A and B are shown apart, each in its own frame.
Chain A
Amino acid sequence: MRRILFALPFAAIGAGALAIHLPDPAAPTWSEEDLSLVRSLSLDALPPVPADPSNRVADDPRAAALGRSIFFDTRFSSNGKVACATCHLPDRQFQDDRALSKGVSETSRRAMPIAGMAHSPFLFWDGRKDSFWSQALGPLESAVEHGGDRTQYAHVIGAHYAEAYVEVFGPLPDLDVLPARAGPVADPAAATAWEGMARSDREAVNLVFANVGKAIAAFERTIAPPETRFDLWVASREFPGPGLLTTEEIAGLRVFLGAGGCVNCHGGPLLSDGHFHNTGVPAVPGLPEDRGRETGALLVREDPFNCLGPYSDAQPADCAELRFMVPAGADMLRAFKTPSLRGAASRPPYMHAGQIPDLERVIAHYVAAPEAPAGQSELRPLTLDHTQRHELAAFLGALDPLP
C-alpha cells in the first residue's frame, strides 16, 4: 500500500522535476534535528512489542485465542451483560465514545483505547497496574464494570473453556468444592464466602484468575495502532513538503513541535511519554475525589498481582519499572497518564473523565493553562493565534487511522 502511494508522484513528475523541486522561499525550513524528531513520531519508529517476562504465555497464540474469546464473553460479569468489549469496542478504537463508561453501573473515569499499550509500563489513568494481565483483573472485580468475582470466573472457565485453558496453563483445580460466588470484592456475600475459604483454595483460585488475565493480555498484545496519513507522509518522497499532509496540517505539526510544546509529553511513535502529568484538567463535580497517580503509585506497589508478586512469572531484575518507579509524592497529585494522540481526533470527549468535549476546547485549555483543582499544573500559558490553533487541530486529524 505504502509503495503504491509513493510511486505515483515519482513516476508522474519526469523531466519537470528540477523546476518543481527548486526551494520555495515561502516553504518552512526544517533543521535535521526537527526532521529526526518528526520521524521519531512515526509508526515506523515503534519497536516490536516488548517482552513481558511477568507473563509466560504473553506471546503464545493459543493464549491469545483464549483471551480474545474472554474479551468478548459477557458470561464474565455479574449480570451476564458485560464484557471487556462493552466498553472497548473494536470498531471504535477499543473505546466507547462516552465521558464515563457503562458496565454493571457507571465508572468514574473515561475508557481508554488499548492499541499499542503493550509498550506502556503502567496502565490506567493513574498507572495502578504494571502489566496488561494484572490490569485485566481490575475491571473483572470492579462493582461498576463486570461486577463478578474470582470463583464465578473460575467456574465459567471450568464450564466453557476448560480444554483451551488446560492446554495453555495446565490442570484446573477442583472447582466443585468452591462457592459459586466468592472473592475479595465489594459484594458482602461474596466477600464473606471468600474469607471462609481455605487458604490453599483461595490461592488456587487466584492462580486461575491471574491466568485469565494472562490470556486476555496475550490477546491485547496483538492490538497494534493502525497506520495513519501522518505515518505515510513521513515515509513519502515529498516529506517534509506538502503531499499526503496539507500545508495547514504541516503548519500544525510545527506548532505541535514548537510553540505548542505538545511533543514534550506527546512524543515518540505513540505520541505519549507513558508518564503522568498534572495538566490542570478540572475535576468533575459529583464524582469521588480523584488524586490520580498519587494514589496509583501506592496501589501498584501493594498489588499482589504486580511484577514482583507471587503470580508473576518474572524475576525481580525484570521488574525495573516497578522497582525504580517514582514514589507517590506531591508532584504526582492529580497527575494522569498521557494518552496517545493516535486516533484522538475522532474519539471525543477528552481527558480522564471526558471533561473536554472537543479538540477546539482541548487546545483552548492548553493555551489558557488553568490552575489545577489540586496539585500543580505543569502547563504554562501558550501564545497561539487563531490560525495556529486551527492548524494544530488539523494536524491532530492527520493522526486518525486511515479509513
Chain B
Amino acid sequence: MPNLPTRRAILAGIPLALVATTVSAGLFSQDIPENLDLALRRPTDAHHYTVAIGPVEPEVRIGRMHAWTLALADRRGRPIDTARIAIDGRMPQHGHGLPSAPAVTQALGDGQFLIEGMKFNMHGWWEIDLAIDGPAGADTVSFNLVL
C-alpha cells in the first residue's frame, strides 16, 4: 500500500498518479524532504497513546476553514473519550505557524474528537503538533502533511 503518495493526493485533491511520479521534480516542491513520514496515524512520542487524524471532507482546499477528526486510543487500542487536546502547527521551512487557531470543540464518543478551525494558507510541508493530556498522562505527537 503506497501510503505516502496516497496521503499527498488525498490532501491536495490532485490525481494520484501524477503526484506520485513527479513530486520531487517540481519547481515548487524541490526542497521538500523526500523521506517525510506522512502517516496520519501514529503513537505519541512517549507511547502513551495512539492518535489518528484526518479531514472530515477528503479534499482540503488551501485557504478554506474546515474540520478534522481525531481518534484517540490508549496503547492497547482502547478508545479514550476524556482528554485535553491542544493543536498547533507550522511550516518548518517557512518559519511560520498556522493561519488559524484550531481547537477541539466536541468529544464525539468512541475516542473521536472534532477539531474545528483548521486552515492552511500555502502549499508545501506542514507539521501538525498535538499535545494530549489524558488518563495516561501528558504526551505529544507530530504529523507531517504535504499540500
Contacts and interface: CB of A to CB of B under 8 A. Distances in A.
Interface of A: 29-34, 36-37, 40, 254, 257-258, 263-265, 267-268, 273-275, 277, 320-321, 323-327, 331, 378
Nearest to B121: A273
Given A273-B63, A320-B65, A378-B96, A267 B122 contact: yes
A32 B28 CA distance: 11
B27 A36 contact: no
B117 A32 contact: no
Nearest first, the 4 A-B pairs at minimum CB distance are: A324-B117, A258-B27, A273-B121, A32-B18
7 contacts: A257-B28, A258-B30, A264-B94, A264-B124, A273-B99, A273-B122, A323-B116
Contacts of A267: 62, 121-123
Contacts, number: 86
Interface of B: 14, 18-19, 21-23, 25-30, 62-63, 65, 94-103, 116-117, 119, 121-124
B121 A275 contact: yes
Given A258-B28, A324-B117, 6 more contacts: A258-B27, A264-B124, A273-B121, A325-B101, A378-B94, A378-B95
B146 to A, nearest CB: 10
B13 to A, nearest CB: 10
Contacts of A32: 18-19, 21-22
A326 B101 contact: yes
Given A257-B28, A263-B28, A325-B101, A274 B121 contact: yes
A323 B97 CA distance: 17
B99 A275 contact: yes
A261 to B, nearest CB: 9
B27 A257 contact: yes
Contact of A268 (B18, B21, B63, B100): B63
Q: Name the residue in B21, B62, B99, B117 with the highest tally of chain A Cβ atoms < 10 Å from its Cβ.
A: B99
